[in-house]
Amino acid sequence: MVANAITLEMNTDAFVLLNILDHIVKQDQVPTCSPTTCANAGLCLATTDGAGWLCVCQPQFTGDRCQNPISVSQCAAQPCANGGTCVDGPFTFNCKCPYPFKGQRCELMSTVL
């Protein structure tokens, strides 16, 4: 057998050595967890077989590295009262209230008319 221009006789010791070296090379090729492996505060966990990793994402993200925000309409539940208009944000909503209403959900009436 020729490996890196060195001829090795295939006896048991050489075979064991090649298997060990092959394992080390493959192990170095397996990505490991780092602080930047998972985005958006995702948690990186090594797999039990040692072959890689997986990201456990925060509830509002998905993807193999937690890179994709999940689009959930906060306005679907119609949170604004008294004719207020709901405006979706990335992870929240805002209500645009008609006069004389105010408050986070247009639930309050302005005392000054």
The dihedral built from the CA positions of residue 27, 33, 36 and 40, taken in this order, carries a sign that is: positive
Residue 19 pLDDT: 52
Residue 65 pLDDT: 96
What is the number of structural domains in the chain?
3
Question: Which pTM was predicted?
Answer: 0.42
Residue 34 DSSP label: -
DSSP alpha helix (H) spans, 7-81: 12-29
Of residues 102 and 6, which shows the higher confidence score?
A: 102
Same domain for 26 and 36: no
Same domain for 41 and 17: no
Question: What are the C-alpha distances in Å from 105 to residues 2, 92, 100?
Answer: 75, 12, 13
Same domain for 43 and 16: no
Same domain for 81 and 104: yes
Same domain for 64 and 36: yes
Residue 31 pLDDT: 64
**The domain containing residue 93 runs over which residues?**
74-109
Per-residue pLDDT at 20 exceeds 60: no
Of residues 1 and 83, which shows the higher confidence score?
A: 83
Same domain for 46 and 16: no
